[in-house]
Amino acid sequence: MGETITFWVLAVVSVAAALGLVFSRKAVYSALMLGVVMLSLAVLYAVQDAPFLAAVQIIVYTGAVMMLFLFVLMLVGVDSADSLVETIRGQRFWAAIAGLGFAALLALAVGNTLIAPAKGLTNAVKEAGGNVPSLAQLIFTRYVFAFEVTSALLITAALGAMVLAHRERVRPKATQRDLARARFSGPQPSPLPGPGTYALHNAIDMPALLPDGTIAAKSINRVLARHEEEDGVTPTDPSKAAIVKQLLVEERLAPKDEVPDDSHTDARAVVEDNVAQDDLRDEAATDEAETGGAVREAHQEDGK
């Protein structure tokens, strides 16, 4: 009776979470839904006399694999939404039809099979005295070769991940001397003004005020400005709105005239030389905006 209740509760939860995984627009929601499915499956294993697998499911899947998924989501960009353009026309529709047909076929085939009452594992685990000892006995006798091959597979996977994720440094790392030179030959040797200086609040979205009460353009957080623009929010203060607008225009123009050669010696260019890949320029620009300025970024790079 207890098992039946557990099964029905977890079956509903896991199927709902699986549907959520497939249909949620944001990848992070999908990952969380997958976590729910894995946890409920772990409980189902425990109910079915597989306590070791339940523990492994939680440790390996919800612990390691889900963390890996979330890390990669953060690396790749959480907001990378699915494109709605279909490469093959009608593919989604027919895929859904095929999937539903497949589900119906499997469920009906399994549901219509007459299955004898389960034998249960009590006899199987009696000899070794428990689930884990019995599994250990099997792994190290009948399945020992597969077990050894597994270790080779894991080592190969670890090496493969390192090789795939490794990036060769194309240019030499900028030294402290290079960074300092770039900083002092650049337009702004000092740190940029922080947000909130002399203003009413010191929140990140409050620009600093100059002594005459006007807004210091350099203290405006560019990332926030960009996001606000994307969301269609304009600052209530008209002078701030004008400055933000100008900043965004400058930012849009900026990548075109930026040539990372030696003549161009502001800090960002050095850092970019250091990053050394053209397609990483966006990232560098974002970093720059987030840390509040090229100089701060130089400091940061310095620290690494």
Partner 1 sequence: MTTHYLVLSALLFAIGAIGVLTRRNAIVVFMCVELMLNACNLAFVTFARQHGNLDGQIIAFFVMVVAAAEVVIGLAIIVMIFRTRRSASVDDANLLKY
| Minimum CB distance to partner 1 smaller for 250 or for 278 | 278
14: contact with partner 1 by CB under 8 A: yes
Q: How far is the CB of 256 from partner 1 (least distance, A)?
A: 18
Q: Residue 95: is it exposed, middle or buried by C-beta count within 10 angstroms (0-12/13-18/19+)?
A: exposed
Residues 244-283 that bind partner 1 (CB under 8 A): 277, 279, 282
Contact map string, positions 103 to 122, toward partner 1, x by CB under 8 A: x--xx--xx-x-xx-xxxx-
Interface region with partner 1, contact rule CB under 8 A, candidates 52-60, 252-260, 265-273, 295-303: 52-60
Nearer to partner 1 (CB atom), residue 48 or residue 188: 48
Give the footprint of partner 1 on residues 63-102 (CB under 8 A).
64-65, 68-69, 72-73, 75-77, 80-83, 85, 87, 91-92, 95-96, 98-100, 102
Check residue 125 for interaction with partner 1 (CB under 8 A).
yes
Q: Report the residue number, 34 or 271, with the smaller CB distance to partner 1.
A: 34
**Which positions from 216 through 245 interact with partner 1, judged by CB under 8 A?**
none
Q: Which of 27, 43, 225, 289 binds partner 1 (CB under 8 A)?
A: 27
